Each structure stands twice: as C-alpha cells, then as structure tokens.
Structure 1
Amino acid sequence: MSVWPAWEVREDGGATAWLQVRLAFPDGAGVEALAVLADGNVSLEDVRARPALSLDDLVELADWIEGPLFEACGIASETVEDDGAGEGDAESEDGCAGAGVGARRARPPFPRGIQGRWLVAQEYRAAQAEGADPVLAVMCATGHSRRKSLRLIAQARDAGFLAPRHARRT
C-alpha cells in the first residue's frame, strides 16, 4: 500500500490536502482512492477498484488504509473517526454480496473451463429462482464485467448447462 500527497490548497489560514492511496494485491486486483484532509478530518473523495467493491469490502478498505493514511496526514488514528468510507458507494451499487476480502485477496479465484461454466449456470439459475438479475449474480460471483459475464453465460449455454436463449425452428 502506498500513500502520497496529490495537492494542497491554502486559504484563509487553513489548508485542504488531497492524498492518493493505492493498494495492489498479488492476484492483480487493485484499489485507488483519493482522500481529503480538511480541518483535521479525513474522508474518501473517490474510490476506484478492479474488481468492484461491495459494501463489506468498503468497510474493510477503511480499516486497511486508516493507519497509513493518518500517518501520512500526521494525525493519530485513535482521535479521528473515518466516516467517509461509504462515499465511494457508486462502484458498490451493483448489489454484490459475499465478495469478502478475506486473506488480503480481492476475490477468490473463479474456476475456469467446464467447472467454471457449471458454476456460472448454477449462479444464473439461483438468481432466476430468487427473481434477481441473473447477469448481476454472475458478475458478483466471478468478479468480471457485464460483458465478460454475458460471454461466460453464453459459454454455459453452449456447453448445455443452460437452456438455449431462443427456441430454434426447424
């Protein structure tokens, strides 16, 4: 994890500072955040992550960056409460639950090949049974984008794990 100052604005005897925060994981996942220090309070201005973070992941993110961020700001972490962890919700509005951070990995690896297609089909059918968006369920399970998830669903259909999209006329 690294924290470095982005810029600082001084006005009327006070100062507002923006800091860049970057976390990189061994599996290739990463999180970048822009934190703001103003009047002794630290909050997160922007959070970008690949793959996207769930609300639980955002809570974990706040815990991970709290110490190094406060150290870079020169603030004791016990005296300030980081209430800005929910401000990066734009990327977690996808409704993904259960995408926990775990042992410092962004997401557990999703199996490839025939086993992965079978799991995609299971997620798809379970979401349909619950009345939820099946593509979103596959996105949450795999950690892939919508386009990649649609491609995985199509592969599961081609493998025979899901019914054909349209009935073919003969």
Structure 2
Amino acid sequence: MLEASFLNLSDRRPAEGAVSVWPAWEVRDGAGATTWFGVRLEFGDGARVDAHAVLAKGCVSIEDVRAEPALSLDDLAALADWIEDPLFDACGIGVAPEGVEAEGGEADGDDPRPGWPRGAEGRWLVAQKYREAQEQGVDPVLAVMRATGYGRRKSLRLIGEARDAGFLTRRRARR
C-alpha cells in the first residue's frame, strides 16, 4: 500500500515510470475523425495515472485523469512532460516527414519536433503538402501540421509564406 498522500511526479525520474498509450475508439464524420487514446503511467511502487486523450483537428487534449495516489495541481502540470512524447508518437504528431531528417533536437530525444527545411525549400515543400491534401479532399492545414510537426498557427504562417513566395495562389483577390 502506498503511504504518500500525493504522487509527486516532479520528484520522480523518467526511468522510474513506464508510459503506455493505445487507441481506445474513433468517431468519423464528414470532416474527419476524432480519436480517443488511453494513457497509463505506471511506477514500480504501485503508483499509477490513467488518462483519456483526444485527437481532434490536429490538437491533442486530455479529457480525464485518474491517479492513485492523487495528483496535486503541480503534478497535474508535470503529467504533460511525462506523457507528451509517447502520446504524440501514438497520435502521429511530431513525426518527421519522409526524406527529412530531424535537426536541432537533443541527443536524448527531448525535442519531438522534426527538422523542416528553411527558406525556399521549406516553403516549396509546404506548398506541395498543401496541394496534395487539396487533391485528396482532406484539410490542407492539418496536412501541413502533420508534415511539419508544428501547431496550427505556425503552419498557417508557413502556408502564408508559401503564398507570398508564389508557390500557392492567393486566397482572395486584392482590391
């Protein structure tokens, strides 16, 4: 039986815990899909955290968290650091696109964002991913997000830069 009143994630090391992530269920609609994942963080002393994560429109959010022993608010904030990489791997977010090697990450894998070419090459690749998604009838912004590993704002900025460079047509006629 555990004697601690709180889990104290900030006092634990990554080697002490094991994170597992599995797809729980998926709901499809005309615009795409929403997928739920089960997440478990277990420690050798019997402490554990169970959570449900949701992937919708390229964003991951945590819906439900249960822990034994209980989590403090500080532990709840630290939980993201423990589960982020395995959860993003299971969701397919932050995976390096084909033919592009990750750069600038630390050797121990602390930076899950893939390397994305800068300058004209990067803008051209963004335009390619955008057009491919349009042809396939899927959300082009989400396709760019998946390819680059960046969030919505950064991906929209990259798409805007590709438009400014002439790789994509303007969205609206200027008056």
Normalising by structure 1, report the TM-score.
Answer: 0.47
Structure of larger gyration radius: 1
Normalising by structure 2, report the TM-score.
Answer: 0.46
